[in-house]
Amino acid sequence: MELTTEEKKQRSLEYSIRDGAFYSIMAGFGDSYITPFALLLKASTAEVGMLAALPHLISSWFMVLGARLVNRYRSRKRIVLYAVFFHALWWILLFAIPYWTRSVTVLLALFTVYWIFGNLPSPAWNSWMGDLVEQNQRGRYFGRRNRVTGFFALVAVFAAGYTLNHFSQIDPFLGFGIIFGISALARFISFYYLSRKYEPGYIPVQQDQFSFMEFLRRIRETNFGIFSIYVCLMVFAVHIFGPFLVVLLLRDLGFSYIQYSLIIAVEAAASFLMMVYWGKNSDTYGNKAVLTVSGIAVGFIPLLYLASTSFSWLLAIAVFTGFSWAGFNLSTANFIFDTVRPSKRAQAIAYFHVLRGAAIFGGAAVGGLLAAYLPASLFVSNIIILGIISGVLRLLVSLRYLPLIQEVRIVKASPPVLHFVTIMPVAGLVYESVFGMRTSYRKAAAVVGYLSRKLKVSERVIEQKKRFFMRY
pLDDT of amino acid 452 = 56
Name the nearest CA neighbour of 267 among 336, 312, 325: 325
b/e burial code for range 317-337 (CB count within 10 A of at least 16 → b) = bbbbbbbbbbbbbbbbbbbbb
- Residues 48 and 358 sit within 8 Å (Cβ to Cβ): no
Rg of the chain over all Cα atoms, to the nearest angstrom: 22
- Distance (Å, whole) CA 280 – CA 210: 34
Distances (CA, A) of 271 to 224, 323, 468: 26, 5, 51
pLDDT of amino acid 144 = 79
Whole-structure pTM over 0.75, yes or no? no
3-state helix, strand, coil in the chain (%, to 5): 85, 0, 15
- Distance (Å, whole) CA 231 – CA 174: 39
- Residues 65 and 122 sit within 8 Å (Cβ to Cβ): no
Give the angle 340-343-347 at the CA atoms, nearest 5°. Answer: 70
- Residues 335 and 288 sit within 8 Å (Cβ to Cβ): yes
Q: Which letter does DSSP use for residue 250 in this model?
A: I
In tens digits, the chain (472 residues) has pLDDT values of 577 878 888 888 889 999 999 999 999 899 888 988 998 898 887 788 788 788 888 888 888 888 778 777 767 888 899 999 999 999 999 999 999 998 999 999 999 999 999 888 888 888 888 788 776 677 678 777 877 888 888 889 888 888 888 887 788 899 999 999 999 999 999 999 999 998 887 666 665 667 778 888 888 888 889 999 999 999 999 999 988 888 788 877 888 878 887 888 888 778 877 777 777 777 777 788 888 888 998 999 999 988 888 888 999 899 889 888 888 888 888 888 778 777 777 778 888 888 888 898 889 888 888 877 776 654 567 788 888 899 999 999 999 999 998 877 666 665 555 555 555 555 555 555 455 545 545 555 555 555 555 555 444 544 554 454 344 4
- Distance (Å, whole) CA 257 – CA 249: 9
The end-to-end CA distance of the chain, in Å, is: 39
pLDDT of amino acid 466 = 45
Q: Which letter does DSSP use for residue 414 in this model?
A: P
Alpha helices in 102-137 (DSSP H): 104-119, 122-132
- Distance (Å, whole) CA 427 – CA 430: 5
- Distance (Å, whole) CA 195 – CA 176: 29
Domains of the chain: 10-200+221-466 (1.20.1250.20)
